[in-house]
Amino acid sequence: MFNLKKLHPSTYLLPKEGLMRVPGLIIANEEELCDAGLEKPLEQVRNVASLPGIVGYSIAMPDIHWGYGFPIGGVAAMDAETGVISPGGVGYDINCGVRLALVPIRFRDMQERTKSALLEAIFRRVPSGTGKGSSGDRRLSESDYRSLVKQGARWSIEQGCGLAADLEHMESLGVLEEADMSAVSKAAQERACAQLGSIGSGNHFVEIGEVGQIFEGEIAKQWQLQLGQTYILIHTGSRGFGHQICQDFLNSFIKKGFAKDLADKQLVAAPLASEEGRSYRQAMAAAANFAFNNRQQILHQVRKAFTEVCGVDYASIPLLYDVCHNIAKMEIHPVEGIKRKLCVHRKGATRAYGPGAEELTPLFRKTGQPVLVPGDMGRASHVMVGCGNPLTWCSSCHGAGRVRSRVASLKAWQGKSAVDHMERLGVAVKANSYKTIAEEMPDAYKDVDKVVQAVQEASLAKKVAGLHPYLVIKG
């Protein structure tokens, strides 16, 4: 019913029709295209294609699923002068993202009791779950907010929570410059004042495991990724701060009538050149900088846990990379041979710059940027390298994507022990709520290997290494 036309391997065109201003571009393998659950997200791809100022394509990644207005796993670039910015195109969890750090010990060399102690230590140090706030009951003051929002992750590092070298291993060096607290409501500040350094709930996690496969030896070497090495993977975002900012601007844009004539009110958007658009960008950047700090503070606690339990030197645990997967950023991209300033919305999608990209630091300019693709907690996650594909505005997928709702997953695991099942798979899981574990079981997700395969076939990113989880803390 969508009349898709194959352009390249795992790349399909969704032809322009009706109110669409541009065609859709679907990155998926053939098996994925047969999934009946794809119908609603593809309708959302069409809706996004109708937004003012959209350039190129309305893009869907292979991990696409239904989202608010924009699908999750969607990418859309808007012209900086004539286009719009949409809070729904970023998502509630602004700068939800992933960071990967490497520990200089082989995972298999750790004794079982050390692994258990490590899991306990991380669980104790990193608050997780609904309503669980900062470790040590720390509350952010107004001046803390002003500084962390202005400085991004540097703020945490200056507080002793990290290494100076970490900054060079973060997307945008861990700071979005447009951030301005004057665009942020009091409610957003209050909602998150005790949440910095916490995972939250849902699909967020801290995961420890081993590098199980190397696909691109030369790049892995440059990134100091070794087979059998222990890794730390952290997935979380801006907590209540980002949620409240998204909500504040959705409410304000709807009240101002910006949703008029849109196919879905949740697509509501303000012109980038307007006061409202500028204000949202400032507030969104503030939330993005909160999220960089959140992941920085969590990594700090995990590093301390490794020092405490395994005697590993804090400074010997380098951050490989930190990527955003819910963000809108101003970027320069060639459009029909001419460089144009675009606002690229990536909602459940990761930037994937290839070798030579000017924004990257020297190491990654040489190789292309790391693209971190967490799978589910039982199978695998992937480290890829961006190919800088101009068709997708240098974007790639962000994860596995759900195949089963939370409710269905909970029902499927009712009366069975999800924790025991995970143990049989060799994965120790801890969470504040059994419900979260049951909702997040591996069979609730697509096979991330297939998602990654489609991304590779479409030349968006290439596999560098496969990660295997063993210790998982869920929200």
Partner 1 sequence: MHRVFFGFEVRAPWEDEVLQGRKIEERYRHVTLAFLGNLSREKIEELLKQIPKPEMPLGPCAILDHTLLLPESHPRVMALHMEFLDERVLKFQKVLMQSLHRLDLGSDQAVWLPHVSLCRKPFSYELWQAHFVRLPCYLGSFHLYESVGELCYKPLWSYDVPPPFEEIEHRADIAYCVHGKDLQELYVHASMALAFQDPHFLTAWPCRPVLFSLEELVMALNEQIAKIDHLRGCPFKAVSFHGEVEACRQNLLKWDMIVDV
Would you tell me which residues interact with partner 1 (CB under 8 A)?
37, 65-69, 72, 92-93, 129-132, 187, 190-191, 201-202, 240, 243-244, 246-247, 250-251, 254-255, 259, 264-266, 268, 402-408
Closest CB 35 distance from partner 1, rounded Å: 10
**Ramachandran class of 427: left when φ > 0, alpha when ψ lies in -120 to 50, beta otherwise:** beta
CB 66 to partner 1: min, Å:
5
Question: Do residues 106 and 210 touch, judged by C-beta distance below 8 A?
Answer: yes
Minimum distance from residue 468 beta carbon to partner 1 (Å): 26
Residues designated as active site = 398
- CB burial class (10 A; 0-12, 13-18, 19+) of residue 31? exposed
Nearest distance from residue 349's CB to partner 1, in Å? 15
Is the Cβ of residue 258 or residue 306 nearer to partner 1 in the bound state?
Answer: 258
69 or 197: CB nearest partner 1: 69
Query: Please, which residues have CB within 8 angstroms of residue 111's CB and are 6 or more apart in sequence?
Result: none
* Shortest reach from residue 30's CB to partner 1, in Å: 20
Buried b (16+ CB within 10 A) or exposed e, 304-320: bbbbebbebeeeebbbb
251 vs 361, beta carbon nearer partner 1: 251
How far, in Å, CA of 448 to CA of 412, rounded?
Answer: 21
Residue (23 or 69) nearer to partner 1, CB: 69
The set of residues, in sequence order, having a beta carbon less than 8 Å from that of 474 and lying 6+ positions away, is 128, 199, 204, 205, 377, 429, 430, 431, 436, 437, 440
Closest to partner 1 by CB, 93 or 276: 93
Q: How many CB atoms neighbour CB 261 within 10 A?
A: 8
Q: Are strands 461-474 and 428-430 parallel, antiparallel or unpaired?
A: parallel
At its nearest, how many Å lie between partner 1 and the CB of residue 433? 9
**Helix, strand, or coil here: 277?**
helix
Closest by alpha carbon to 389, among 323, 456, 435?
A: 456
How many whole angstroms separate alpha carbon 471 and alpha carbon 209?
Answer: 6
Calpha distance 259→261 (Å, rounded): 6
> Cα separation of 9 and 30, whole Å?
10
The distance of closest approach from Cβ of residue 251 to partner 1 in the complex, given in angstroms and rounded to an integer, is 5
Torsion of CA 222, 225, 227, 232, to 10 degrees: 180
